[in-house]
Structure formats: structure tokens, C-alpha cells
């Protein structure tokens, strides 16, 4: 089984976010980038298939040379090879089109991705990729088993979960539950050394057509100062909740 894992290169959640040029561009100075956490769940599940069923894993990213460190980390975790599509990932549909070309040329049986990236939280690329390929697609996946060319999938729905079955090829958008956080892999020294020798292929984008662009950014309103009320002063607490917070 050939597995393709789509990897997004995103700012670490602890990074301080700023914007430049009159809040029209993201300021990447001093920002630490990591594998998108949802994609890391997908990669970890792919590693299970590699170890239990002998699958091969290719990781792919649409991005500039700056994203290669993130791809190398995925290789250190255990992916067999990597592909970087050499164009800036500024538009979800453009990214999906580039990924579709990689899938068509690679003959992959299973495409795994996170349900969204934690930078723009668009949640659109896996679904658009499946539509472009005319593959079955399962979003918010929390369980995946493969037997031959058949898959059994669990996903979250309102009020519970749903179990589905599908034939491969298939596109999966995963989240926590596909694996648990305790199952995530940390690259060891041997993996890091081996990653330097694994293939990282750079391919040029098939199209530079961009459908959308970000026109401006705005930070959320800063949290107001916290008021401390003495535990015995119930009247003051009720007054603040009623007249200031207006929640009762």
C-alpha cells in the first residue's frame, strides 16, 4: 500500500503573532514552524500501517524552500521519501490542485491529511483534493483500519460517531482520535541521521493561478483584566455578574 501524507508547515502555537505592512502581511520573523498537529496525527497513523502492513509513506508539502525542515522532520519520524511542490501556499484551491497532480503521478492508494491547518484553519484542502481526484472522502476521522483494498473508517458526527466502509483509493482528513497524543513520534538521533539520506524531490508547480488572497489581518480583542472577588462576598459577585458581565 502506498500512502501519501499531506504536511502543512505552520507556526508553533506558542509563537507570538504579528503583522506588517499595515496589517496586510504575516510577520514570520522569530516564528518557529512545526508540522501541523492534525497532519502529525495522520503521519503517525501512516507509520502504524508501515510497521504492521509494510506500507510505504511519502510526505508532500506545497511550499517554498523554508518548509524543507518540516519535511525532514517527517522523514526523521519514519516517512520513506518527501516531495515539495515549489510554490507558496497562499490559496487552498491552488494547493489542492498541486496535491492532485502529485497523487495522479504517484499512484497512491491512501491519502492522509489533517482536517485543517492551525494557521488559517480553512479546513478545505482535503475535501477539494478528493473532489479533484473523484475519490471517496471522510472528514473528521477518528479511526481507520485497512484490510486489502477495503477501509473501515470512524468519524465524529453531532452527538456521536459514525462508522463507514470504503474501497481504496481514499482521502482521509484526520484529527485527534485517529491516534492519541501519547502515540505521536519524537524523532530520535538515528531517525534524524537517516532523514538526511532519504529522497526529497522538488517539483515545480503546474499552475500559478490564485483564486483568493488575504487582504488584511486583525488580532482578537485583548482580554480584559481579571477581577478577584473574596469568596465570602457573594453579593459583590452577583452584582458583577449581573451588572458588568451581564451573564445573569
Domains in the chain: ranges and CATH: 2-217 (3.40.50.620)
| Band of residue 38 on the pLDDT scale cut at 50, 70, 90 | very high
Q: What is the mean pLDDT of residues 181-203?
A: 93
Q: What is the mean pLDDT of residues 53-71?
A: 96
Residues 6+ apart with CB under 8 A from 240: 227, 229
Indicate if the pLDDT at residue 10 is higher than 80.
yes
Indicate if the pLDDT at residue 8 is higher than 80.
yes
Give the global pTM.
Answer: 0.87
* Total residues found in the chain within this entry: 248
pLDDT of res. 200: 97
CB 113 within 8 A of CB 92: no
State the DSSP code for 148: T
Q: Using one digit for the tens of pLDDT, what is the confidence trace for 91-132?
A: 999 999 999 999 999 999 999 999 999 988 889 999 999 999
What is the distance between the alpha carbons of residues 116 and 175, in angstroms, rounded to a whole number? 9
Burial class (CB in 10 A: 0-12, 13-18, 19+), 43: buried
Amino acid at each position: 500500500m502506498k500512502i501519501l501524507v499531506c504536511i502543512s508547515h505552520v507556526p508553533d502555537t506558542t509563537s507570538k503573532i504579528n503583522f506588517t505592512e499595515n496589517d496586510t502581511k504575516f510577520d514570520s520573523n522569530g516564528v518557529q514552524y512545526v508540522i501541523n498537529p492534525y497532519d502529525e496525527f495522520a503521519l503517525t497513523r501512516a507509520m502504524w500501517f508501515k510497521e504492521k502492513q509494510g506500507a510505504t509513506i511519502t510526505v508532500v508539502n506545497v511550499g517554498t524552500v523554508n518548509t524543507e525542515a518540516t519535511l525532514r522532520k517527517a522523514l526523521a519520524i519514519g516517512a520513506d521519501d518527501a516531495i515539495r511542490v515549489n510554490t507558496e501556499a497562499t490559496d487552498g484551491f491552488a494547493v489542492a490542485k498541486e496535491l492532485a497532480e502529485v497523487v495522479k503521478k504517484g499512484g497512491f492508494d491512501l491519502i492522509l491529511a489533517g482536517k485543517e491547518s492551525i494557521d488559517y484553519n480553512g479546513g478545505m484542502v482535503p475535501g477539494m483534493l478528493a473532489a479533484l481526484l473523484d475519490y471517496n472522502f471522510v472528514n473528521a476521522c477518528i479511526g481507520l483500519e485497512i484490510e486489502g483494498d477495503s477501509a473501515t473508517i470512524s468519524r465524529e458526527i453531532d452527538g456521536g460517531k459514525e462508522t463507514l466502509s470504503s474501497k481504496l483509493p481514499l482521502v482521509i482528513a484526520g484529527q485527534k482520535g485517529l491516534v492519541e497524543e501519547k502515540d505521536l513520534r519524537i524523532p530520535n538521533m538515528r531517525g534524524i541521521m537517516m532523514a538526511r539520506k532519504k529522497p526529497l524531490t522538488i517539483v515545480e508547480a503546474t499552475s500559478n493561478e490564485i483564486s483568493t488572497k488575504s487582504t488584511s489581518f486583525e488580532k482578537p480583542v485583548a482580554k480584559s483584566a481579571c477581577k478577584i472577588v473574596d469568596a465570602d462576598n457573594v453579593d459583590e459577585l452577583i452584582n458583577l455578574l449581573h451588572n458588568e458581565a451581564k451573564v445573569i
